[in-house]
């Protein structure tokens, strides 16, 4: 493709992204799906884009898009509401990922007859929800605050759960493969049980440590940057400087083995909630930073930047899908998606232990929101690269699941949109109408005798009846 055509294509994609964003606000169809469809058309159908040439770039774009999306989501969170919904979000994330991992592993093991270890690693890859798709969709849906914040928390730690579990399993299987000393079957079985128990305990401990470390780093960095912002916000390019601070926070948290994306979300939330109040952590009280709060400027800048990066990222995701590979694993991916849907409903019900006050419709939407995206593709490629031919099926299965799970997400968003375009109207009972009519006739008769010509209205369930 010539450079002029390439530049024109980029411009056309940005126009399409703007139109898709407007369409999302009117119809409830996520713009991510429109952009992925455009990538599918430009790549596998028309062959205008060779996705293989952009494989390394798509990973970089994807990581950058994740950072921007999660930081923007953090800027829109209310501290009090987030702390209230944090336990429910973490419970939903852990239960949903655990159930999804087991379900996907079971389907793969039964359907294609792979060993349990191989199936478990495939399940770990396919079990995590993609925050790169989930968070933009949540921004466009007008969900109640409690439901939206719970799902935002779940999405922000979902990637960390997937990366942590896959990394642990890869290390565990590598060490286990090196243990070639002959032992009796009973001893080997006991060793496997001990090793599996140690692995589960290690996963739980690592997850708690990652979350605690991420919160500590992000809160400290957020408070420090909130005090510096009033001094910097009158300078040119201060939003770019803030974005640089976000990237440094991500890198430092990753180096210290924390949950980098979760730290970015907490950092954004701290910046958004330091205006107009002191920050009290129970032990130390940090006074509110002086000067005008620049949150709106940060949010506007990162929204524009995120729009640009997300556009190219979702198009590249669509361009990487291959029809021949999709046909081979279509039935298997649909079976995995069905299992994921069933266990998702179970996880949503379990999370009601801490996620209180939700309606049946909100739980239904949460059950349908199981999109797979960037993290699924990246983990599948990493596993296939390290484990070789045993996982030749995984990359195709991951891309097929990305496509079908996002179609399921489309069903959920459209259902929510339709239910809020035409909300149900409360209808009064016959007895209430009779009483109202009697009162109305009496009131009008009284006014007529007094010579008054004012109209009388009676409110029934929020509607005025003249």
Express each pLDDT in 169-193 by its tens digit: 887 777 655 443 444 444 344 445 4
pLDDT of residue 191: 43
The pTM for the full model equals 0.72
- The answer to whether 102 touches 346, Cβ cutoff 8 Å, is no
- The answer to whether 85 touches 146, Cβ cutoff 8 Å, is yes
Task: Estimate the share of the chain in helix, then strand, then coil, as percent rounded to the nearest 5.
Answer: 80, 0, 20
Q: Which of 231-235, 394-398, 460-464 has the highest mean pLDDT?
A: 394-398
CATH number 1.20.1530.20 is the correct assignment for the domain at 17-180+194-421: yes
CA-based max dimension of the chain: 107
Whole-number CA gyration radius for the chain: 26
Q: pLDDT for 139-172, tens place per residue?
A: 778 888 889 999 988 988 888 788 888 877 887 7
pLDDT of residue 202: 64
pLDDT of residue 310: 78
Number of CB atoms found within 10 A of residue 212's CB: 12
Three-state DSSP class for 353?
A: coil
Query: 116-120, 326-330, 456-460: lowest mean pLDDT where?
Result: 456-460
- The answer to whether 268 touches 229, Cβ cutoff 8 Å, is no
Query: 11-15, 32-36, 168-172, 203-207: lowest mean pLDDT where?
Result: 203-207
pLDDT of residue 194: 47
pLDDT of residue 173: 75
Over residues 361-381, mean pLDDT: 87
Q: Give the C-alpha separation, 395 to 330, whole Å.
A: 13
In the chain, what are the domain boundaries? 17-180+194-421, 431-465
Over residues 34-56, mean pLDDT: 80
Q: pLDDT for 54-71, tens place per residue?
A: 666 666 777 787 788 888
Give the mean pLDDT of the chain: 77
Q: Give the C-alpha separation, 62 to 39, whole Å.
A: 15
Q: Which of 39, 33, 29, 63 is nearest to 140 (CA)?
A: 29
pLDDT of residue 295: 57
């Amino acid at each position: 493709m010539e450079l002029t055509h390439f530049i024109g294509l980029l411009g056309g994609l940005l126009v399409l992204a703007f139109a898709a964003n407007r369409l999302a606000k009117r119809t409830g169809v996520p713009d991510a799906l429109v952009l992925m469809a455009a990538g599918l058309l430009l790549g596998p159908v028309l062959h205008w884009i060779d996705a293989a040439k952009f494989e390394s770039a798509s990973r970089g774009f994807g990581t950058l898009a994740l950072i921007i999306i999660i930081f923007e989501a953090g800027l829109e969170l209310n501290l009090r509401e987030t702390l209230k919904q944090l336990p429910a979000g973490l419970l939903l994330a852990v239960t949903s990922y655990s159930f999804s991992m087991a379900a996907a592993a079971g389907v793969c093991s039964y359907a294609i007859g792979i060993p349990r270890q191989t199936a478990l690693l495939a399940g770990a890859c396919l079990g995590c929800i993609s925050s790169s798709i989930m968070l933009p969709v949540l921004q466009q849906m007008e969900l109640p605050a409690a439901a939206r914040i719970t799902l935002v928390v779940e999405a922000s730690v979902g990637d960390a759960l997937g990366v942590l579990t896959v990394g642990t399993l890869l290390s565990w299987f590598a060490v286990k493969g090196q243990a070639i000393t002959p032992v009796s079957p009973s001893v080997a079985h006991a060793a496997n049980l001990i090793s599996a128990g140690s692995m589960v305990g290690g996963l739980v401990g690592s997850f708690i440590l990652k979350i605690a470390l991420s919160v500590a780093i992000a809160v400290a960095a957020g408070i420090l940057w909130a005090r510096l912002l009033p001094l910097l916000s009158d300078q040119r390019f201060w939003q770019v400087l803030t974005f640089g601070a976000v990237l440094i926070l991500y890198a430092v948290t990753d180096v210290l083995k924390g949950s980098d994306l979760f730290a970015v979300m907490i950092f954004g939330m701290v910046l958004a909630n330091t205006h107009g109040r002191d920050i009290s952590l129970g032990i130390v009280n940090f006074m509110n930073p002086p000067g005008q709060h620049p949150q709106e400027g940060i949010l506007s800048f990162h929204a524009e930047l995120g729009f640009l990066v997300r556009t190219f990222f979702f198009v590249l995701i669509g361009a990487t899908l291959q029809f021949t590979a999709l046909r081979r694993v279509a039935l298997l991916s649909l079976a995995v998606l069905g299992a994921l849907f069933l266990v998702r409903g179970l996880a949503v019900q379990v999370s009601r232990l801490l996620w209180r006050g939700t309606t049946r419709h909100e739980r239904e939407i949460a059950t349908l929101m199981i999109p797979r995206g960037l993290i699924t593709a990246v983990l599948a490629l990493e596993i296939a690269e390290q484990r070789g031919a045993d996982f030749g099926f995984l990359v195709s299965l991951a891309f097929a699941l990305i496509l079908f799970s996002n179609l399921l997400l489309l069903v959920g968003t459209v259902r929510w949109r339709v239910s809020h375009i035409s909300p149900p109207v409360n209808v009064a009972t016959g007895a209430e109408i009779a009483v109202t009519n009697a009162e109305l006739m009496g009131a009008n008769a009284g006014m007529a005798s007094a010579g008054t010509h004012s109209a009388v209205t009676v409110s029934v369930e929020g509607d005025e009846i003249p």
